[in-house]
Amino acid sequence: MIESVPPTDQPEPAAQVSDSEKFAAMVGERVREARQRRGIVRKKLSELSGVSLRYLAQLENGGGNISVALLHKIATALGHRVEWFVCAEDPWRSEAMQVAELYRQASNLNRHQVLGILKPKTPESLKAQRICLIGLRGAGKSTLGALAGKASSLEFIELNSEISALCGLPIDELINFYGQEGFRGMERQALERIVEGRARVLLAAAGGIVAEPDTFQYLCSHFYTVWLKALPQEHMQRVRAQGDERPMVGNPKAMDQLTSILTSRETLYASADVTVNTSGQSIDQSLQVVSGVIDELLQRQQ
């Protein structure tokens, strides 16, 4: 006896839609939306494009095997570029497509400005003609910076002066009020303001800027850096020669501390684009070298 098999309630698996069918459906949907946005009926589009009404109906329903030439006729009749109907992004909802269309309509001047904003920046272009002198206190950043700035026709700025102008307080009072953390925050703000406002400048940064990794990385990305290097003894002698005895007053280990600071920062300072050793050099000798380095760096952007 043969047993009958009851019918199953399971539906047959749906046929998979091919990529080609999906693409045809997308093109048809976009043609229909473009037509509706223009407020014209299918018959009118047929007259404007020269494509048969029957073919248009098949196309909008996703069943048309349309040629590029016919699609170009339809796109022209609808006032769109043919790529609007076949690109991966939705042309009416994609910001990239909208920007592209606005760019095509813009003047040459506006196009140039847009490209300047959007074009990826190279490390060299980010630095523009900005140069920063780094190094421990007493390296000669202020003295050599002021002289080299005049020789190279560069505006010379001391970052600490910019910080004071930004917060309205002398550096000592700023640190007393807000501590080192507050000072470092203002240092970064002042640095960013210089970058935003000046493409050509010679800057002298405080010796401790290398101890703040994010700020120092920002500095190196937007400035050519020049390390003014000297021996610990010369750093101390130069500070004292300026009439500042504070490092030594009541601190017999000041020299050891300065040597330790220089040693701990030496690797960071050495990451500068250029190193100028001022040890045993007169101001005129060091100035000649620094000015030559600055001129060479400026020529990279010409």
Contacts of 219 (CB under 8 A, 6+ apart): 132, 134, 191, 205, 209, 225
Contacts of 147 (CB under 8 A, 6+ apart): 283, 287
Sheet holding 200-204, edge to edge: 156-158, 200-204, 129-134, 224-229, 274-277
Domain boundary among 58, 82, 98: 98
* 283 and 154 share one domain: yes
Contacts of 186 (CB under 8 A, 6+ apart): 163, 166, 167, 174, 178
* 138 and 216 share one domain: yes
* 131 and 198 share one domain: yes
* 86 and 141 share one domain: no
pLDDT confidence of residue 224:
96
- 19-23, 108-112, 120-124, 185-189: range with lowest mean pLDDT: 120-124
pLDDT confidence of residue 100:
81
Q: What percent of the chain has pLDDT over 90?
A: 45
- 52-56, 218-222, 291-295: range with lowest mean pLDDT: 52-56
| pLDDT tens column, 211-268 | 999 999 999 999 999 999 988 888 888 777 765 555 444 455 778 888 888 889 999 9
Q: What is the pTM of this model?
A: 0.61
Question: In this structure, is residue 268 part of a structural domain?
Answer: yes
> Which H helix or E strand runs over 42?
helix 42-49
pLDDT confidence of residue 146:
96
- 36-45, 67-76, 139-148, 276-285: range with lowest mean pLDDT: 67-76
DSSP state of 82: G
